[in-house]
Each structure stands twice: as C-alpha cells, then as structure tokens.
Amino acid sequence: MTTGNTITNTTAHEANTVTAGPGGSVNGEAIVPGDKSLSHRSVMFASLAQGRSNISGFLAGEDSLNTVAAFRAMGVSIERPDNTRLTIDGVGMHGLRAPSAPLYMGNAGTGMRLISGVLAGQSFATEVTGDESLSKRPMGRIIDPLRQMGASVSSQQNGCPPLSIEPATALTGIDYPLPMASAQVKSCVLLAGMYASGTTSVTEPAPTRDHTERMLRTFGYPVETNGAHVSMQGQGNLNACDLEIPADISSAAFLIVAACIAPDSSIVLKNVGINPTRTGVIEILQLMGGNIELHNRRDAGAEPVADIHVRTSHLKGIAIPEALVPLAIDELPVIFIAAAVADGTTTVTGAEELRVKESDRIAAMAEGLMALGVDAVATPDGMVINGGSIGGGVVDTFFDHRIAMSFCVASLRSTAPVQIRDTHHVETSFPGFFELCASLGMVINRPPASA
C-alpha cells in the first residue's frame, strides 16, 4: 500500500498526546463551533464587498483565522468584537493591496485553493505558503483552470505549494469540466470568474458542497445552477451583508458517531448546518441503523439548519453508496470508527480523494484501526472494515485533526485506553474539542499544559 504520510517532529509528540477511554458515554446538549467552509468564504466575500458586513458564528479555529490574517495583510479592516463575531469593512472588488510578505494559509487546503482564485485576479503579485502538510497537497487541480483563464500561477516542481501568482493581465471566462468532485476547485474557478470577462462555468462530475454559490447570491452576485452546471458572468460586484454561520456538521459528526456507538447516550447538537450537499454522514449512519432525528429545521440566511438528536444505536455494516461519498468526504474517518463497531462488513469505494486531504486519510485510518486490533483493509479508493471490538493502543494522527478526533471517538468502545499522538491540529477546526468531549461524559486525559 502506498501512503503519503510521514511523521516528523518527534519531540512534540508527548506534549500533544491525549489518552482517551476506555468507555464513557455522551449525554447532554452541545453547540459545536461554526462551519469551517462557510467561515473561510465569509471572510473572502465580505472583504471584497462594498460596505460593512457583520458575521456571527465564525469558527475561531487556526484555519479560518489564517484567512482573516491574509485579508488583513491585504489592507482589509477586520475586527473581532468577540471570539466568534467579525466586522469586516469590505474594500470592493479592486480594493485589495499588495501584502508585504507571503500569505500563510497554515493547514488549510480550502484557504489556499479559494484565495488563489481571488489572487489570480489582482493587479499585484503574491506568494501563498502553508504548513508541512499543506505543502504536500496537490495544487495542479487549481493551477490548470486558472492558467486556462489566463492567470499566471506556478507551484513547486511537484505541483505543491508555495504558489507564486503574478499580477493578472486579463482573465477570460472558461467552461470547465471538473476532473474530480471538488468544491474547492469549483470555488476557486468561480472566485477567479468574478474577475474574468464573459461567462465562467463549471460542470461537476458529482454534487459537491454548494456554499460558494449560495454565499455569492447572498452578497448579491448572480450565479445560475442548472443540474451539475454552475455559471456566472464576470466583473460584477458584491454587496456587504450580515451573515449567521451555523455550527459545522463536519465537527458535529464526531459527536453524532460518539452518541451512536456509546452505551446509554443521548445528545442534542444545536443549530447545525444541514445543507443537503453536506448531510451524507447522516444518511450513511441512518442506513447503518443510526438513531438520528432532525428537529427545529429552519434557515440561517441561505443555509438550512436543524438541531440533531442522536441516541445509542445498534449499527450494521453496509456498502456505502458511492453517490454519498462526496457528500460525506470529511466525515469518512469517523464513519470508519462507526463501521469498526458495527455488525458485519462496511465497504467504502470511490473515496480516493481521501488520500490527498490533510493526511492520506485512507492510510492513516487503516494504520490506526489496525493498531487497535480492528480488521480493516485499505484499498486504493476506500476501505473494507469487518466490525467487531476495538482494543487499546497508540495511534498516530499524522498531524491531521480529523484522524485525532476520530480515534478519540473510538475510545468510547475500546477495551483499554487509546493514546492519540500529535493532537494539536484539532485547533484548526474544532477548538475545545477534548474539553467538550469530557464535559459530555467521555474519558479524556491530557498532560498538564506545562508538560
């Protein structure tokens, strides 16, 4: 099996090791942090809009804060009156200024790929960098369409960051068939399309999250969606607005699986985004027998939200329908944990995109599951998991937030403690995760802060 994962930085392991379980349950009510995808987009659109936008429910995680820092570095005034609120004075489509240093996007593929669409349309040059994980992620997927539009963008020889983006001369709209089901690539092309002449359109091979399209409309920028085809006219304007960002279903997913697999559990997750392009995790778990109900459905601006009630469930293994894979792409690691305790076999196919996330998530999950004695076999595009029991042991996270949180959930059913190494990256998407887990009834031990 090939894997893109390597481990470095051994000295940091111990301070960031969390020991979870064995056992525990989850009970009560919780509000998980704001949606990461929407948080990135809200900063980008509000910065380019005319006027003041107020954003609530913003994710105060490292990924989205790096996007805030990038737009501040380009001259946008962004105030943070409290942890989850932003007031952004937009500078208009052509009001950004050249930053004095490379823009650092940290761990965030979304931040880097989307901001590159904006930068491709600017009259100044920029360099965009990331951390060790982001520096290994493929950028050819955005460079190809941006070049077709006339942008001058280059990566390192291996197609990875840092990226250099030269001042735009004139971008031209393209009609782009996406080679893979990627909302990041779709969004990058649409963001560059705002600066292009004529029509820019994208055709998706399968539905992916449509937050960019919805948020463009919220900011008054017309976008047409016709089945798999999205199109827009270039050189329009964005108007400031007030946005309420719902809780992130990708973060809620850890607690949804937790309540499904733990004994005597019942949890209500409030105000979670349930955009139909994101709810694959609920559909998959319901197919497995998950006891999950949605209540109090309503709209937060252009995004539907609900409270999600989850109770202890008797899960069975399934062949996950491939059509649901792009709608649950970030939740598959924790779905693998559900599969590990389900009756029978769960098969995942069509998920090769997992190999190019913050880590190679197929390899990372298979390795961790096997370290805990689970019968899991990685395949090129997914995994086959025979449900049974989970043992204790040590798992590597490969510096990936979702791997760390998935194995924390696994500890609810492990027969001995699960030691999770390198948990720091949980801060990118779910600050306070371990504290919340402990408050809901999970068994969490962290070294003292000074360790």
Query: Residues interacting with ligand S3P, by CB under 6 A?
Result: 37, 110, 182-184, 187, 208-209, 329-330, 353
Q: Residues 135, 168: contact at Cβ < 8 Å?
A: no
Distances (CA, A) of 411 to 102, 117, 124, 361, 442: 41, 41, 50, 19, 9
CB of 402 to ligand S3P, least distance (A): 9
Task: Evaluate whether 407 touches 433 at the Cβ level (below 8 Å).
Answer: no
Which of the following is catalytic: 63, 248, 307, 330?
Answer: 330
CB of 4 to ligand S3P, least distance (A): 15
Q: Tell me the three state secondary structure of residue 269.
A: strand
Nearest to 251 by CA among 56, 5, 436, 65: 436
The pairing of strands 393-395 and 418-420 is parallel
Minimum CB separation from ligand S3P for residue 100, in Å?
Answer: 28
Distance CA 340, CA 428 (A): 26
Nearer to ligand S3P, 411 or 429 (CB): 429
| Consecutive H or E run containing 148 | helix 140-148
Nearer to ligand S3P, 355 or 413 (CB): 355
**Cα–Cα dist 259/265, whole Å:** 5
Q: Nearest residue to ligand S3P, using CB? A: 37
If the CB atoms of residues 211 and 309 are measured against ligand S3P, the closer one turns out to be: 211
- Per-residue b/e over 5-28, b at no fewer than 16 CB within 10 Å? beeeeeeebeebbbbbbbbbbbee
Q: Which is nearer to ligand S3P, 307 or 330 (CB)?
A: 330
Least separation, in Å, of the C-beta of 347 and ligand S3P?
Answer: 21
Distance CA 28, CA 229 (A): 42
Residue 27 near residue 441, CB atoms below 8 Å: yes
Which tokens is 245 given? Answer: 């960002």
- CB-CB contact of 429 with 436 (8 Å): no
Would you call 131 a catalytic residue per the annotation?
A: no
Q: Which amino acid is at 428?
A: T
Task: Identify the DSSP state of 336.
Answer: H
Smaller CB separation from ligand S3P, 122 or 208? 208
Q: Which is nearer to ligand S3P, 209 or 425 (CB)?
A: 209
Q: Supply the minimum distance, in Å, between the C-beta of residue 25 and ligand S3P.
A: 29
Site of tokens 């809780």? 247
CB of 110 to ligand S3P, least distance (A): 4
Structure tokens belonging to residue 344: 């029978």
Active site positions, annotated = 330
